[in-house]
C-alpha cells in the first residue's frame, strides 16, 4: 500500500547525507513505492541554519530533493491557520508548521521528534 509521507526537516537532512541515521525500514519506505513530500518550510529552515553557520552540508538540498522525485509541499494559508491553532506542546515554529501540514493534507510525518507524538498526527519513526 502506497503511503503519503512528509519528511521532518531532520529526516530530510539525514536522507541528504546518505541515510545512515535512518532506520533501514524507514529508508526503504522513503525511497520505495511511496509518495514523499518535502515542505517549503523545511527548505527555509535548512537555509536559515546554513546562513547562520549552524549547518554545513556536503550535498545540495535542493538538488537532492529534485533528483529524489520528492514533491514540494507549499505553505498555504490553511496550514498557517492550523499551525497557529495548535496547542503549545512544541514551540518550534517549523515543526508546528509540519504538524499542521501533515494534518491538513493527511500525510504521515516521518520524524524522530518525540514532542510531535503529543499531537493528533500520524507518525512514522525515522530511527
Radius of gyration of the chain (CA): 14
| Distance of alpha carbon 59 from alpha carbon 66, whole angstroms | 12
Give the count of domains, the chain. Answer: 1
CATH of the domain at 49: 3.40.50.1010
DSSP string covering 79-106: HHHHHHHS-TT---HHHHHHHHHHHHHT
Closest-CA residue to 39 (of 112, 88, 107): 107
**Contact criterion met (CB below 8 Å) for 70 and 36:** yes
Q: What is the pTM of this model?
A: 0.94
Structural domain including 118 reads 4-125
Alpha helices in 17-76 (DSSP H): 24-31, 40-51, 61-68
Geometric angle at alpha carbon 7, from 23 and 24, rounded to 5°? 15
Per-residue confidence in pLDDT tens, the chain, 127 aa: 789 999 999 999 999 999 999 999 999 999 987 899 999 999 999 999 999 999 988 888 999 999 999 999 999 999 999 999 999 998 899 999 999 999 999 999 999 999 999 999 999 999 9
Amino acid at each position: 500500500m502506497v503511503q503519503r509521507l512528509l519528511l521532518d526537516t531532520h529526516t530530510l537532512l539525514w536522507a541528504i547525507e546518505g541515510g545512515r541515521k535512518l532506520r533501514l525500514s524507514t529508508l526503504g519506505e522513503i525511497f520505495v513505492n511511496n509518495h514523499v513530500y518535502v515542505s517549503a518550510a523545511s527548505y527555509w529552515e535548512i537555509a536559515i541554519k546554513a546562513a547562520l553557520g549552524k549547518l554545513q552540508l556536503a550535498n545540495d538540498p535542493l538538488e537532492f530533493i529534485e533528483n529524489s522525485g520528492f514533491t514540494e509541499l507549499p505553505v498555504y494559508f490553511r496550514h498557517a491557520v492550523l499551525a497557529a491553532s495548535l496547542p503549545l506542546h512544541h514551540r518550534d515554529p517549523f515543526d508546528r508548521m509540519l504538524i499542521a501540514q501533515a494534518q491538513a493534507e493527511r500525510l504521515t510525518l516521518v520524524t524522530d521528534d518525540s514532542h510531535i507524538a503529543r499531537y493528533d498526527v500520524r507518525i512514522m519513526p525515522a530511527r
